[in-house]
Structure formats: structure tokens, C-alpha cells
A and B are shown apart, each in its own frame.
Chain A
């Protein structure tokens, strides 16, 4: 049972445009969400996170939106740059839970 779902395995976006990556979850106990970025042959690196008490968090070109009623979050990258080409994983955790549940990832390709 996949509790965190990333239904788009891949996404291609023109350089300079907005990239929108989506993530859905089923477990209503999740209250903290993270996005990780992964380059080939490297480990994932933390990108941005959001707590369930917020509906938006921004960090430079990256913004994460959380819609609790729909159990949906999205990552917006504006403007998209070639260095953003990577696999992006969504992850979730419940309060006081030391474990993360990851989605299956979305491969983002930025076209120059």
C-alpha cells in the first residue's frame, strides 16, 4: 500500500518556465512533508519542507504548497534551470515519528 504517491514518473519543462511536481498521500496522520532532490550516482539531498500547520513554504526559487483536505502537495520551481534536472522525491512523516515514507520519485528534465 503506497501511502505517498508521485503519479508522474517523469516531467520535461523548458528552461525558464515553471516546473510543478505533485505528490499525494493517503495517511491522515502525516503532518510533516519534505522534498528531496537526487542526482545520478549521488544520495538524495534535502530541498524544502512544510509542516501541516502551514499551506505554503518558500525558499528562493522553490515553493511547496500543501492542501490538507485533498491530501496533496506540490513543489513549484520558478524559473526552472538546467541544474534542476534530477529525480525529486516527496516524503512524509507523522508527529514524533522518526521515520520517513517516500514516494516513488519524479524525474524532472529541464530542456535548454
Chain B
């Protein structure tokens, strides 16, 4: 099992560019999450999904969109990147009814 994988690992964008981060899990988890980690801020929830075709906003959703077309994939989109979106992005997944989330290795995004 690969667990939770994220693509790409690193990316540099210019302000105004768009990109999509891909998260995939092979554990048949129902729930998936996108977090961002910034110095001194911990992990903050951007968006999450409790099942295929469903998404919901987390704590810091502005400037991001998500889609969950397949159970195993959760995509995070930035339509017009801003320097404030420079961060490390983590995807996580969990079973329905479980508090324990499994995390991917992260994507380091820099917006210049």
C-alpha cells in the first residue's frame, strides 16, 4: 500500500498563475482533507470531503477550490495564486467514524 500520495512534491508559481494539487489514497477511506502548514500556525483545514462527490469548507477556504470525483482522489485548485498561499500543503484521509487521519508527504508551494 502506498497510503496517501501527493503530486507534485514542490512547485514554484508566479502570482496569478493557477495549479492543481493531486492527492490519492489507496486505503478506501471515505474522508479526505486538505491542510496548509505555516510557521507558528500549525495545520489549518482548507477543505474536506466526506465522500465521493461531496466537499465542504474548512477553516481557511478562500482562494482554493476542491473536487472529489473519485473516492480515491481529492484535488486542490488554486485559480489565481497569491504570495499568501506560499505554504506546505498536506492531504489526509480517514475512515468514516475514525478520528485518526493518515497524512501524505506534503507539497511545498512557493508563490512569487
Contacts and interface: CB of A to CB of B under 8 A. Distances in A.
**Chain A partners chain B:** yes
Chain B interface, DSSP helix/strand/loop, else mixed: strand
A84 to B, nearest CB: 19
Interface residues of B, number: 25
B13 to A, nearest CB: 20
Given A43-B90, A89-B42, A98 B31 contact: yes
A41 B108 CA distance: 9
Interface residues of A, number: 23
A41 B105 contact: yes
Given A102-B44, A104-B40, A105-B42, A44 B103 contact: yes
Contact of A89 (B4, B33, B43, B45): B43
Interface in A43-98: 43-46, 49, 89, 91, 93, 98
B111 interface: no
Contacts of B42: 4, 6, 89, 102-105
A15 B54 CA distance: 47
A46 B92 CA distance: 11
Interface in A1-49: 4, 6, 9, 32, 34, 36, 41-46, 49
Given A44-B90, A103-B42, A34 B105 contact: no
A105 B42 CA distance: 6
A46 B90 CA distance: 14
B17 interface: no
22 contacts: A32-B99, A34-B99, A36-B103, A41-B105, A42-B105, A43-B92, A43-B105, A44-B43, A44-B103, A46-B101, A49-B100, A89-B43, A91-B43, A98-B48, A98-B50, A98-B94, A99-B45, A99-B48, A99-B58, A100-B45, A102-B43, A103-B42
Interface of B: 4, 31, 33, 35, 40-45, 48, 50, 58, 90, 92, 94, 96, 99-106
Given A44-B90, A104-B40, 7 more contacts: A43-B105, A44-B43, A44-B103, A46-B100, A49-B99, A98-B94, A102-B35
